[in-house]
Amino acid sequence: MNFLEQFRQVHTFIFDVDGVLTNSELLITEEGKLLRKMNTRDGFAMKLAIKAGYRVCIITGGSSAGVVERLKGLGITDIYKGVDDKLEAFEEYIHMYDLEPGGILYMGDDIPDYDPMRLVGLPCCPKDAAVEIARISQYHSPIEGGRGCVRDVIEKVLKLHGHWIPDMADIDDSTSSANQAPQ
């Protein structure tokens, strides 16, 4: 199977936060508050995926109110925060919506993501993921966490289904029939 065909099966995206939606670095203020930086292009892609009818879920060990507000502002309603056991959260989520794991893309970057990633149809990781996660990932984004790796995978899925920006659907997508010159 062509590796892009794996993206064609995706109906649900699950993402970790630290190391995927952020670069895994924390800034700590003098008051002890933790600050993270997220990529706006990742946010745009998640918002577009939701608008196109895909499910987007976040499973994170963190519990930042600011991160949750940002994600809710993008339209994400399935947010599991402060999670110690990501497999348990994953199983709860797929049972709640009666989802087929084969159609789920899960992007994680470190050991807490390992168990649920082994159960999905398309485990993915950013370029700078932990070695253990890279070993089980079927797709390694060439982009590091927090720098657009989420957009990378969402864009592939949406373009394959014609759900990307209509005027731009054929840009950088040599697999699309829209790229072929008329006969």
> Which pLDDT does position 75 carry in this prediction?
97
Cα(12)–Cα(152) distance, integer angstroms:
15
Cβ proximity of 44 and 56 under 8 Å: no
Cβ proximity of 21 and 13 under 8 Å: no
CB atoms within 10 A of CB 6: 18
Per-residue pLDDT tens listing for the chain (183 residues): 577 889 999 999 999 999 999 998 888 989 988 889 999 999 999 999 999 999 999 999 999 999 999 999 999 999 999 999 999 999 999 999 999 999 999 999 999 999 999 999 999 999 999 999 999 999 999 999 999 999 999 999 999 999 988 655 444 444 333 333 333
Sketch out the chain's domains with CATH numbers. Answer: 3-162 (3.40.50.1000)
Within 8 A by CB and 6+ apart from 127, the residues are: 140, 141, 142, 143, 144, 145, 149
Longest dimension (CA), the chain: 65
What pTM did the predictor assign?
Answer: 0.88
> Which pLDDT does position 72 carry in this prediction?
97
Cβ proximity of 140 and 122 under 8 Å: no
Question: What's the start-to-end Cα distance of the chain, in Å?
Answer: 27
Report the helix count and the strand count for the chain, using DSSP H and E. Answer: 7, 8
Whether the CA torsion 135, 136, 141, 146 is positive or negative: it is: negative
